[in-house]
Structure 1
């Protein structure tokens, strides 16, 4: 492995552990808190658990795509269609995560109403906003990489 991408690969792998810990320990607790705060909604505990755990699936898929992208860089295939596909998949994963967390925003509003804490809504906006920023960044990189591949192929044809 090249030392330039080894650190990034390690960072990608290590990013998965905190999310796994959150899914195992914090998400069930959030479901219990939601059930206590909103007893009039019977299935709120399961809804919270399903949405937060479901958002972990595209997160891990995006991490896998980032790892693949780093492997393409190691193999000198950074300017290939495979890299463009990986960036496209990362973009769609980020949009999916953002969409799932936007669906949960009404729950944050209900929590804020119950506890009289309007700042809770802003806390609920952190993940969708960060995910959309990642989606935009991946889309820009995807477009730049596609243009670079097109220019490279034109140059290969003229020589």
Structure 2
């Protein structure tokens, strides 16, 4: 698989993830939330604060997805191992860690405000774990891409 083909497939996957995210954030979450509000009228007041909170975490995810799109463009330009890609991966790592921390803190805050259920907090730990895993993997890839960039620069200087 050449660079252009790889970049094309990565962009297709990125678009797919973006579309799935839109369906999730603007279809599934509001549908489930309104269903929960109807079944539990005592939690109906929490619907809009939760929606705003979930959408805020979604914005952070789309910023990371945009950074990944830029990495795909660099791969297509045969510039896979660049400092720019390493910095973008580092930023994705920071965004994933920040989003995970925000999601966890928000769940705890909503629990303290009696707008959350302890079972939801426990389930949310799975999402927090997934976000931390993405953060660690992105940080590791950033480190490896930067090392590969350094090696590539050294090789370009050798005759």
Could you state the TM-score of these two structures normalised by the residue count of structure 1?
A: 0.79
2:157 is the alignment partner of 1:152: no
**Residue of 8, 11, 14 corresponding to 1:12:** 14
Q: Gapped runs of 5+ residues in structure 1? A: none
Out of 19, 29, 36, the residue aligned to residue 41 of structure 2 is 36
Quick one: structure 1 residues 82 and 29, their matched pair in 2 at CA, closer, same or farther if it must change by over 3 Å?
A: same
CA contact (8 A) 2:89 2:139 kept: yes
On the 8 A contact 2:30/2:51 being kept in 1, the answer is yes
| SS of 1:104 mapped into structure 2 | helix
Higher RCO structure, 1 or 2 (CA under 8 Å, sep 6+): 2
Which secondary structure does the structure 2 equivalent of 1:125 belong to? helix
Q: Distance in 2 between matches of 1:20 and 1:96?
A: 21
Would you say the 8 A contact 1:58–1:93 is kept in 2? yes
How many angstroms apart in 1 are the aligned matches of 2:93 and 2:149? 19
Alpha-carbon distance in 2 for matches of 1:112, 1:49: 16
Contact 1:48/1:104, CA 8 A, preserved across alignment: no
1:133 is aligned to 2:138? no
Q: Give the C-alpha shift of residue 158 in structure 1.
A: 4.4
State how far apart, in whole Å, the 1-side matches of 2:141 and 2:94 are.
13
Structure 2 contact 8–76 (Cα < 8 Å) conserved:
no
Q: Shift in Å at residue 22 of structure 1?
A: 2.2
Contact 1:88–1:142 (8 Å) recurs in 2: yes
SS in 2 for 1:2: helix
Which one of the candidate residues 51, 56, 59 is aligned to 1:57? 59
- Name the CA shift for 1:12/1:108 in 2 (closer, same or farther; >3 Å): farther
The alignment's C-alpha RMSD in Å is: 2.6
93-102 or 127-136, which moves further after superposition?
A: 93-102
TM-score (norm 2): 0.79
Q: Give how far 1:142 is off.
A: 0.5
